[in-house]
């Protein structure tokens, strides 16, 4: 079963270990994840049905920059393989097909650290 939808790496400063490290970004229809390759800090996002945008909800102290990325994927709506816009913030994760505009919305669900000790 090939459920892989988005799988990419993005090198940036990790919000957790503060190192410049690959952040491994993956998404399938029912879940999205961002994992730090250095310290294992993992953020899990789950789909949300309604797009409730509460202003200020996304603003948190210690929040890193919003990531705006582009990755090639096969759209689950129009089945065209082409560029998708990814927008990843502290509290949300969206993937939008640039061909048809179909958008997956995810919201932040939980966070954990996969490994015990970050490299220092
Ligand atoms: Zn890290
Ligand atoms: Zn599409």
82-115 per-position pLDDT tens digit? 999 999 988 889 999 999 999 999 999 999 987 6
Task: Using a CB cutoff of 5 Å, list residues around ligand 2, an ion.
Answer: 75, 77-78, 97, 99-100, 102
Each residue's pLDDT tens digit, 2-24: 567 899 999 999 989 999 999 99
Q: What is the pTM of this model?
A: 0.80
In a domain, 120, yes or no: no
Number of structural domains (the chain) is 1
In a domain, 119, yes or no: no
CB 67 within 8 A of CB 44: no
In a domain, 58, yes or no: yes
Q: Of the ranges 8-12, 29-33, 40-44, 113-117, which one carries the lowest mean pLDDT score?
A: 113-117
In a domain, 22, yes or no: yes
Q: Which domain holds residue 59?
A: 6-113
Sole residue written with tokens 């997956």: 104
In a domain, 18, yes or no: yes
CB 87 within 8 A of CB 74: no
Please give the distance, rounded to the nearest whole angstrom, from the Cα atom of residue 17 to the centre of ligand 1: 4
Helix (H, G, I), strand (E, B) or coil at 11: strand
In a domain, 88, yes or no: yes
In a domain, 61, yes or no: yes
């Amino acid at each position: 079963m090939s459920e892989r939808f988005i799988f990419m790496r993005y090198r940036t400063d990790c919000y957790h270990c503060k190192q410049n490290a690959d952040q491994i970004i993956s998404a399938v229809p029912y879940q999205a994840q961002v994992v730090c390759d250095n310290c294992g800090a993992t953020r899990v996002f789950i789909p949300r049905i309604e797009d409730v945008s509460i202003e200020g909800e996304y603003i948190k102290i210690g929040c890193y920059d919003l990531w705006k990325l582009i990755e090639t994927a096969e759209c689950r709506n129009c089945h065209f393989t082409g560029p998708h816009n990814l927008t990843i913030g502290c509290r949300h994760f969206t993937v939008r097909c640039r061909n048809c505009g179909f958008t997956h919305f995810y919201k932040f669900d939980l966070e954990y650290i996969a490994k015990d000790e970050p490299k220092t």
